[in-house]
Amino acid sequence: MEMETEDKVIRLGDGSGDSVTLEPTYQNRADQTVWDFVGSLYRRWRLIAAVTGVVALLSVAIALLLPKWYAAEARVLQPEGGALSLLSGIDASLGGLGGLLGGSSGEYSRYLTILTSRSLMERMVDEFDLIRVYDIDDESEAPVFEAIDMLAENVEFEVNPEFLFLAVRAYDQEPERAADMANYLVAALNEEHARLSSQNARQTRVFIEQRLGRAQADLDSVRIAMQAFQEEHGVVELESQARAFMESMAQLRGDVAQLDVRYQTLAQQYGPDNPQVLAAREALRAARGQISSALGGRDALLPVSMQELPALSRRYAELMQDQLIQAQIIEAIYPIYEQSLFQEQNEAVAVQVVDEAVPPVLASRPSRKAIVIVATFSAFLLVVLYVLAHAWWRRNYNGLALKLQHALREQSRSV
């Protein structure tokens, strides 16, 4: 009977030369491997416990030695009206068309841009002497920029999506300084926002003022052109004059019709040489002359000929339209101009402070509990992996060596 445990093969024989080979099933091999690993862990439990305990104690000591960092938080809200009230007023005055220009989706992106700007970070470094606080080496080539980078890691800005407030958070090893830094950021935000808003309002006011001046100049030009048109053609209000002229022409044509009937009747009764017939013919001729004179533009009511009337009407309509358009532009722009003057003179407030930052009592970082738990668990996992890897190596070392020797012999034979 022969057994080869390394190859997991068992050969049984009765001495006659015949043998039966039995190979264990996959389930048996897996169970045996698991129990071998469990046994290895059990045999080395003292090592596992010792390493895990030492690392746990060291992590506790390191966590206690790490400096405490305190977080001070200020909460602010966007004021009612906002800094884009002028644009909102324009949108309101435009009605439905204002929606095409887009509305304000909130000022917090603008605030975050100000709070994270390099200029504000530099002011913070100078105000709180952060080069000394962060213990930056004097021999550093760019101590200010290193302090700004460290400051950027020690400030947080978070917009709450549910209640829409902005949290300004500052971290420092001294609670009082952390609170002062958070409050300084809020004050600097208001100051910088007021400066930018005043500058934007001034630029807006200048633009609107120029547009208003151009509209007033255009209106004056149209009025001068209208006056020249009226003086040249003797027309004050073409529409009303033309209406009165047409009514007068209708009256004249009615008179001509009556005079023509009277003349024809008298001529049939008394003959063409009768004085009454001659007087009726003269009256009819005079009435027709009045119509011809009026159509030729010699009537005081409408001193233009009927042939010129379409072109004059078109020119008059164009001048009147330009006058109405420029007047409407001025009417629409002037309230916006007044509002821009008010906004330029009014000091803009960026945010309303709900909670000022106060010196915190408890440290926010580092999380000592998390450090100890993570370090202890990591040490336990690593030492377990080491024990299992060592056990596997010991069990398979001989087999791997034999396979390597066999591979080398096969290679040498092939050569």
- List the domain boundaries for the chain: 2-65+369-414, 70-218+335-355, 233-332
Arithmetic mean of pLDDT over the chain: 76
Q: Is the model's pLDDT at 6 over the cut of 50?
A: no
Work out the average pLDDT over 384-412.
82
Q: Which of 83-87, 95-99, 213-217, 270-274 has the least mean pLDDT?
A: 95-99
pLDDT tens-digit map of 160-200: 888 888 999 999 999 999 999 999 999 999 888 888 877 77
Query: How many CB atoms are located within 10 Å of the residue 90 CB?
Result: 19
Q: Identify the architecture of domain 70-218+335-355 in CATH.
A: 2-Layer Sandwich (3.30)
Q: Is the model's pLDDT at 346 over the cut of 50?
A: yes
For the chain, the 3-state helix, strand and coil shares in percent, each to the nearest 5, are: 70, 10, 20
Interior angle at CA 215, CA 209 and CA 219, nearest 5? 145
Work out the average pLDDT over 379-385.
91
Task: Measure the CA–CA gap between 90 and 329, rounded to whole angstroms.
Answer: 13
What one-character-per-residue DSSP string does 218-279 give?
HHHHHHHHHHHHHHHHT-S-HHHHHHHHHHHHHHHHHHHHHHHHHHHHHHHHH-TT-HHHHH
Q: Is the model's pLDDT at 105 over the cut of 50?
A: no
Pairing of strands 70-77, 2-4: unpaired
